[in-house]
Structure 1
Amino acid sequence: MSKAAIKYGLISGAIVSILLAFSAPYMINNEGSLGTSQLMGYISMMLALVLIYFGIRERKMKELGGEITFLDALKTGAMIALICSVIYTISWMIISGIYPEVNESIANMYRNEINAKDINDAQKAVELAEVDEMMQNYQNPIFKFGITMLEILPLGLVVSLISSIILRTKNMND
């Protein structure tokens, strides 16, 4: 594993975790818009995941003498994304343990969104039951870990793909 992947994975994981820690009290104290909370979350993830580009670039320039294949760039980016995602997920597990009410706050945001929909009562009941089932499943740490990884890792892989396309050395054999 490259030094750049470790370095930038740790830095991006720290950034997203710090932003997550600061947003947890907001989620607890402000059961407002689910969309706003999700937007804040994805913006913080993107701020951290931008470092994938810089990690690949550092590997290319400092470790590989200015040339990098698409596949090597993609592997480096994916490793940064994986490290960041694991740190984010562990941070969320800790934060939601410290602030257990954050989980209920998020569930209430989903419930409010469902109740605001212009759908019949039977459909609302089905959707509300799905939220309750999800919250029950969320009590399982393995399920919670997996779901939380799925929040950030796919986004990191997309950033890795785009960065690899941009940074690859053209006319190199992959």
Structure 2
Amino acid sequence: MGRTLLKYGVIAGLVAGGALLATMLAFQGQPPAGGYGMALGFASMLVALSAVFVGIRHHRDQAGGGVIRFWPAFGLGLGISLVAGLFYVAAWELCLVLMDQDFAAFFASSMVEGAKARGVEGADLARVVEEAASFEAMYRNPLVRMPMTFAEIFPVGVLVSLVSALVLRNPRVLPAR
């Protein structure tokens, strides 16, 4: 099971991390216009985490003789997602090194500009500016930034693991040949 976990976790991590790195380099650190960046990010995560389903199925068919119970399947999926998440974090840290901008400052200024565009003024704007400055300082700490980055992909991995374990515990679904 450990080999399967590592193999499919690395595959998922390379796909998710590669998509993140390619997107950030293609758009030069700026999010794609119109909010497509988030949709693109989550779509690439789902594509990458399809390795969870494939990994569970491979383990079920090869080691389990075509049968796997829910909890071992779910655990395998979580393990694959954990490895993928670590690769994703490493890819984001690489993006931060390769980009010629200060991402924390860019994001903080985006928060303030967004509030101004929505018409926020006075004390409310001062609160947004304070929150942005607080975020910027917090995000500079890698012990905070890395878990935040991991939390972007891991919940998606949990969901994919749950669905995959529920589906693949039935030996009639995509039976071994």
> Please, what TM-score do these two structures have when normalized by structure 1?
0.87
- Per the alignment, residue 16 of structure 1 pairs with 16
Structure 2: gaps of 5 or more residues: 172-177
Contact 2:4 2:55 in 1 (8 A): yes
Structure 1 match to 2:156: 155
Q: Which 4+ residue blocks in structure 1 deviate beyond 6 angstroms?
A: none
- Counterparts in 2 of 1:88-127, with a 5 A limit? 88-99=88-99, 101=101, 103=103, 104-127=105-128
Structure 1 counterpart of 2:38: 38
Cα 1:31–1:77, aligned 2, differ >3 Å: closer, same or farther? closer
Q: Which runs of 5+ in 1 are unaligned?
A: none
Summarize the Cα distance change of 1:63–1:106 in structure 2 as closer, same or farther, 3 Å threshold: farther
Query: Partner of 1:48 in structure 2?
Result: 48
Amino acid at match of 1:101: Q
What's the offset of the Cα at 1:122?
A: 2.2
State percent identity of aligned pairs.
26
Normalised by the length of structure 2, the TM-score is 0.85
8 Å CA contact 2:24–2:30 kept in 1: the answer is no
| Residues 5, 80 of structure 1: 8 Å contact kept | yes
In structure 1, the partner of 2:130 is 129
**Residue 39 of structure 1: how far off its partner (Å):** 1.7
1:31-75: CA deviation from partner (whole Å, max 9, x where unpaired): 564722222211111111111111111110012110000000000
Query: Where does residue 61 of structure 2 map in the other structure?
Result: 61
How far 1:28 moved relative to its partner? 3.3
